[in-house]
Structure 1
Amino acid sequence: MIKFNLKKVSLTSAILVFALMMLTLPSCKKSRSDLGKVLYQKTKNKVFKDATPEGLAEVFKTVLAEEKTKVSNPKLISAFYEENDYDPIFVMDHIFNGDVDLTANYFEKVNQHGLDPKMFNADKITALVAKFKDKRAIKNIDEAYRDIALLEITTANSLINYSNALQYGILSPRKIYQRYYTETKRPDSAGMSNILHVTNMKAYLDSIQPKDPQYLALQKALMDGSVAPGMSKEETTRYLVANMERLRWKNKPSQTRYVIVNIPDYRLDVMDNGRSVLNMKVCVGEGRNKDKENTLVDYDESDKIDRPFSRETPQLNSLIHSVQVNPVWNIPQSIASKEIMVEAAKDRYYLSNKNIDVYENGKKVDDPETIDFANAPKDKYEFKQRPGDDNSLGKIKFLFNNKSSVYLHDTPAKEPFNWPMRAVSHGCIRLGNPQGLAEQLFGPGATYDKIAKAMGEDNPEPTTIGLPTKMPVYITYVTCWVDDKGVMQFRPDVYGLDIVLYGHLQRFLASNDQLAQL
């Protein structure tokens, strides 16, 4: 005997009925058979009496083809209007209730974000709207069709660009920086398509204004014309504009607890629910602009091209997964050839004094003092520094996966922590309080006690210990922010990354056509 599951049968039947209903129901697309009549009533211009959806569609296609090179996402916009039978939603639904004027008004005020209204065609949209509201401005039906299509395409394109700019930034950091490895979300076609379905324009435009307190503080400083100590107004403004763009990038930590390093501030913080529970001085990689030779006021056009110095610390995010106590330093080839071999050539006992072992073809060399390092091939030998007080990594290093082979580590060289300019390392980040970071990562208890004990041993052995919970780490580059006391802070552009960023922003601000490249 066959048994039926009545619930499943009922559900299946309901789905079939719904599918049949969907096939027989009329399309959800708006019917504009009364296009001409509605436009005439709203404009009082007799030209629109002869307007039809079919006549508009033919002209709309032509204008779309003509404007293709001027819009950022031509395929997306073309597909949207094709799917909707070239229905002019902005003209029909948003002009005469003031929405398009309102939208253009938001575009006109983008200088509050350090942007230019020309990027979003504010004047062009305002002028086209004025033609529709002047019953004598549009002279014939062909002009009417073209103006409808042009206003529709321009508004759609500008609204998408404005939305993307405020929510994601003008630039993709991956495209302007060579050493940028932080996960950064960029606009996608689904999100941009949704913008074209907005019904409450004001509510939407208000919703995309960045709400981050840091952004609002920089925005206020920009509008107030603030001037930083020791800077001109021009340079201060450019600092604010560059860092507001950074704040628009979707690359901020989403976790409640994480480690963050700000390269220009030479500082590390452990953040917990928005509060710094540990901070310390750090030393970062040596930068191309450490002597402040180039500024945001006076710089060469070539400075817009990102040319990282070989020792610059990259921007990235990752997860700290383990620590190595009393680490061995596997000396990178670049350091070995440019520094270690040079010193060994001058002093035959340099390697033994620094506890550095030499390897050839993976085997340890017993008597490296006999090697003529002055004439030896640069890539013939490998070098490793044993654990100890002189080890360049100090007593502990913190490991996280990244393409640049950088990590956080202790150091025997403490003096640089007293310097105001601490871009002095080979690329890794030296910690002012490595033991404090270890305690934050592992918490008090047996594991941390083991780490602290191992760091104090006289004859140390390398020991690797995994974190019970991996800790997110972000290495960032921010030169302007408001501190906890509400005081605006500025830091020198030690890597010249502000110059690169501001230069690219100016290129895009100069012409809205550039937005097509975003």
Structure 2
Amino acid sequence: MINLHLKKIPLTPCLLLFAALMLVFSSCKKKTRSDLGRVLYEKTKNKVFRDATPEALAEVFKTVLAEEKVNVNNPKLINAFYEQNDYDPVFVMDHIFNGDVDLTATYFDKAGQHGLDPKMFNADKITALVAKFKNKKAIKNINEAYHDIALLEITMANSLINYSNALQYGILNPRKIYQRYYTETKRPDSVGMSKILAVTDLRTYLDSIQPKDSQYLALQKALMNGSTAPGMSKEETTRYLVANMERLRWKNKPTQNRYVIVNIPDYRLDVMQDGASILNMKVCVGEGRNKDKTISLVDYDESDKVDRPFSRETPQLNSMIHSVQVNPVWNIPQSIANKEIMVEAAQDPYYLSNKNIDVYENGKKVEDSETIDWASAPKDKYEFKQRPGDDNSLGKIKFLFNNKSSVYLHDTPAKEPFNWTMRAVSHGCVRVGDPQGLARVLFGEGPTYEKIATAMGEDNPEPTTIGLPKKMPVYITYITCWADGNGVIQFRPDVYGLDVVLYGHLQRFLASNDVLAKL
């Protein structure tokens, strides 16, 4: 039986998108330029243009659109825009002879300042085509004129969209290159790209899309100055800067005034309020594939750009902390139970009782678990739960937020790793260095926080779940290069090898060494 109700659901957003596109296109639509030939002749002094008509241009325009389809990133959108606008060559007619197209090509040519290759945006091709229009003898006949008008128009439209998207959204979609990336990240859409083609003041628009975030500007300055980080080559430093500039272009940054952010490579948690950190602490994150620095941004091969996350790596995500569990019970994941708990129990029959770990079979507690032969026990027959207490692996409190990876922030009885430089040591959750301080900031001073603090100090604790009065955004991110409060660029080891994955995918879009040398 066909579910007609479900079948109808996708149509509504499609119709809304179509209607929005038509609104954008219709709002940009101009009257046919009946004086096309006369205007072009007056501006170029090339007699070839005298006989140009919008109708004849439209036919050639359609042909060139079909020919250029393989060279255009959004052919359907560009085709729809010009079809709705009667193939009006707005860039040629309104922006060549006032210098706007040359100016735009100059912006494209300086894409190396963003670590990107100017060839992506066809700066040379645009400049060469413009020169033909400004040389009254360069275009020899009307067919060549129509062809070059269409080619310049399409190239400008495509390049302007690509440049805008690159600076505002980044070149890559992180969801497509990383397996454990769950952070909400906005990508370009058809309505937004169509609006780009309706821009009338190109200089103002191009200036407006230059990233203005202070972090981006600091990395951009370091890139243009050819900075070299201590202990790194100039090449490796440049690659660090380029990779992290791409991350900064992604639209996945916190928009709230107050939030928790964990930076995996820095092993650090901050509570941010109005742009400043009001609480900062060390954290331990999930064990990573590259903790021994076996691959780097200089020493790697093509296969390294394939993301192969280690099973214990902490995912990148954003969510909302909704509650805490004081004196939590640890529901031990099956993978940890199989690889660690059962192995320890096989070697020591009293291991489970000493660690306050209860065993369950079919949902019922096993009273004599020390009699089980753990060396031969089936891997999926039993469940394990660790009772609250000083030895509980989650410590005295865990901070809960919805996510697909079942990770959370939590306390830990294992304090020594907080003194280590490399703190990628957990099974995937984030261990926090000052859990009570975090609770104080989340709940504020008052009876609820006092209740939490008291419960955390109890000798015979009971698990207690307490909801936050107001949910707190949390971001777990991955940044290996940034400017600190003094403007000094900080670098951290690529513990998960995610820089290598990113840079590997970026390579075909990156500026050559010659371009970077000119900055």
Give secondary structure in 2 for the equivalent of 1:79: helix
In structure 2, what is the Cα distance between the partners aligned to 1:32 and 1:489?
Answer: 56
**Which residue is 1:105 aligned to?**
106
**Which residue is 2:416 aligned to?**
415
**Which residue is 1:309 aligned to?**
310
**Which residue is 1:154 aligned to?**
155
**Which residue is 2:211 aligned to?**
210
**Which residue is 2:95 aligned to?**
94
**Which residue is 2:57 aligned to?**
56
**Which residue is 1:238 aligned to?**
239
**Which residue is 1:41 aligned to?**
42
Shift in alpha-carbon separation, 1:375–1:27, aligned structure 2, 3 A? closer
In structure 1, what is the Cα distance between the partners aligned to 2:246 and 2:148?
Answer: 34
Contact 2:266 / 2:480 at 8 angstroms: preserved in 1? yes
**Which residue is 2:369 aligned to?**
368
In structure 1, what is the Cα distance between the partners aligned to 2:61 and 2:111?
Answer: 29
In structure 1, what is the Cα distance between the partners aligned to 2:42 and 2:202?
Answer: 23
In structure 2, what is the Cα distance between the partners aligned to 1:120 and 1:442?
Answer: 50
Q: Which amino acid aligns with 1:464?
A: T
Shift in alpha-carbon separation, 1:444–1:161, aligned structure 2, 3 A? same
Query: Does residue 468 of the first structure (1) align with residue 469 of the second (2)?
Result: yes
In structure 2, what is the Cα distance between the partners aligned to 1:113 and 1:191?
Answer: 22
Instruction: Kindly provide the CA deviation profile for residues 260-295 of structure 1, in whole angstroms up to 9, marking residues without a partner as x.
Output: 000000000000111101000000000000001100
The Cα shift of 1:301 comes to 0.8
Instruction: Kindly provide the CA deviation profile for residues 133-187 of structure 1, in whole angstroms up to 9, marking residues without a partner as x.
Output: 1111111111111111000000000000000000010011111111001111111
The Cα shift of 1:69 comes to 1.6
Query: Does residue 494 of the first structure (1) align with residue 495 of the second (2)?
Result: yes
Query: Does residue 400 of the first structure (1) align with residue 395 of the second (2)?
Result: no
Instruction: Kindly provide the CA deviation profile for residues 275-321 of structure 1, in whole angstroms up to 9, marking residues without a partner as x.
Output: 10100000000000000110001101111001100000000000000
The Cα shift of 1:27 comes to 10
The Cα shift of 1:507 comes to 3.0
The Cα shift of 1:209 comes to 0.4
**Which residue is 2:342 aligned to?**
341
The Cα shift of 1:30 comes to 2.9
In structure 2, what is the Cα distance between the partners aligned to 1:102 and 1:447?
Answer: 60
Query: Does residue 454 of the first structure (1) align with residue 421 of the second (2)?
Result: no
In structure 1, what is the Cα distance between the partners aligned to 2:302 and 2:195?
Answer: 38
In structure 2, what is the Cα distance between the partners aligned to 1:277 and 1:51?
Answer: 66
Q: Which amino acid aligns with 1:460?
A: P
Query: Does residue 192 of the first structure (1) align with residue 193 of the second (2)?
Result: yes
Give secondary structure in 1 for the equivalent of 2:293: coil
Contact 2:32 / 2:86 at 8 angstroms: preserved in 1? no
Q: Residues 4-19 of structure 1: matches in 2 within 5 Å? A: none
The Cα shift of 1:486 comes to 1.3
Q: Which runs of 5+ in 1 are unaligned?
A: 1-25, 512-518
**Percent of paired sites with the same residue:** 86
In structure 2, what is the Cα distance between the partners aligned to 1:69 and 1:313?
Answer: 39
- Poorly superposed stretches of 4+, deviation over 2 Å: 507-511
The Cα shift of 1:31 comes to 2.8
Q: Residues 253-332 of structure 1: matches in 2 within 5 Å? A: 253-332=254-333
In structure 2, what is the Cα distance between the partners aligned to 1:263 and 1:27?
Answer: 46
**Which residue is 1:127 aligned to?**
128
Contact 2:112 / 2:511 at 8 angstroms: preserved in 1? no
Contact 2:288 / 2:496 at 8 angstroms: preserved in 1? yes
Instruction: Kindly provide the CA deviation profile for residues 434-490 of structure 1, in whole angstroms up to 9, marking residues without a partner as x.
Output: 000000000001000000000000000000000000000000100000101111100
**Which residue is 1:31 aligned to?**
32
**Which residue is 2:79 aligned to?**
78
Q: TM-score, normalised by structure 2?
A: 0.92
Q: Residues 214-233 of structure 1: matches in 2 within 5 Å? A: 214-233=215-234
In structure 2, what is the Cα distance between the partners aligned to 1:332 and 1:207?
Answer: 49
Moved more, 208-217 or 43-52: 43-52
Instruction: Kindly provide the CA deviation profile for residues 488-510 of structure 1, in whole angstroms up to 9, marking residues without a partner as x.
Output: 10000000000011111113449
In structure 2, what is the Cα distance between the partners aligned to 1:243 and 1:449?
Answer: 41
Q: Which amino acid aligns with 2:124?
A: D
Q: Which amino acid aligns with 2:280?
A: N
**Which residue is 1:482 aligned to?**
483
The Cα shift of 1:375 comes to 1.1
In structure 1, what is the Cα distance between the partners aligned to 2:78 and 2:476?
Answer: 37
Give secondary structure in 2 for the equivalent of 1:170: coil
Give secondary structure in 1 for the equivalent of 2:379: coil
Give secondary structure in 1 for the equivalent of 2:421: coil
Query: Does residue 137 of the first structure (1) align with residue 141 of the second (2)?
Result: no
Q: Which amino acid aligns with 1:118?
A: K
Give secondary structure in 2 for the equivalent of 1:352: helix
In structure 2, what is the Cα distance between the partners aligned to 1:440 and 1:486?
Answer: 27
Q: Which amino acid aligns with 2:199?
A: V
**Which residue is 1:183 aligned to?**
184
**Which residue is 2:175 aligned to?**
174
In structure 1, what is the Cα distance between the partners aligned to 2:263 and 2:31?
Answer: 52
Q: TM-score, normalised by structure 1?
A: 0.93
**Which residue is 1:430 aligned to?**
431
In structure 1, what is the Cα distance between the partners aligned to 2:460 and 2:386?
Answer: 14
Give secondary structure in 1 for the equivalent of 2:38: helix
In structure 1, what is the Cα distance between the partners aligned to 2:331 and 2:390?
Answer: 16
Q: Which amino acid aligns with 2:105?
A: A
Instruction: Kindly provide the CA deviation profile for residues 222-262 of structure 1, in whole angstroms up to 9, marking residues without a partner as x.
Output: 00000000000000000000000000011110100000000
In structure 2, what is the Cα distance between the partners aligned to 1:508 and 1:361?
Answer: 55
Give secondary structure in 1 for the equivalent of 2:87: coil
In structure 1, what is the Cα distance between the partners aligned to 2:145 and 2:201?
Answer: 26
Q: Which amino acid aligns with 2:355?
A: K
Q: Which amino acid aligns with 2:205?
A: Y
In structure 2, what is the Cα distance between the partners aligned to 1:109 and 1:265?
Answer: 32
Q: Which amino acid aligns with 1:324?
A: Q
Contact 2:114 / 2:220 at 8 angstroms: preserved in 1? yes
Moved more, 374-383 or 154-163: 374-383
**Which residue is 1:165 aligned to?**
166
In structure 2, what is the Cα distance between the partners aligned to 1:58 and 1:129?
Answer: 22
Instruction: Kindly provide the CA deviation profile for residues 28-66 of structure 1, in whole angstroms up to 9, marking residues without a partner as x.
Output: 823311111111111111111111111110110011011
Give secondary structure in 2 for the equivalent of 1:444: coil
In structure 2, what is the Cα distance between the partners aligned to 1:81 and 1:377?
Answer: 66
Contact 2:286 / 2:314 at 8 angstroms: preserved in 1? yes
In structure 1, what is the Cα distance between the partners aligned to 2:487 and 2:69?
Answer: 46
Q: Which runs of 5+ in 2 are unaligned?
A: 1-25, 513-519
In structure 1, what is the Cα distance between the partners aligned to 2:41 and 2:279?
Answer: 67
**Which residue is 2:443 aligned to?**
442
In structure 2, what is the Cα distance between the partners aligned to 1:235 and 1:508?
Answer: 17
Give secondary structure in 2 for the equivalent of 1:271: strand
Q: Residues 501-516 of structure 1: matches in 2 within 5 Å? A: 501-509=502-510
In structure 1, what is the Cα distance between the partners aligned to 2:469 and 2:373?
Answer: 47
In structure 2, what is the Cα distance between the partners aligned to 1:40 and 1:160?
Answer: 29
Shift in alpha-carbon separation, 1:59–1:467, aligned structure 2, 3 A? same
In structure 1, what is the Cα distance between the partners aligned to 2:27 and 2:268?
Answer: 59
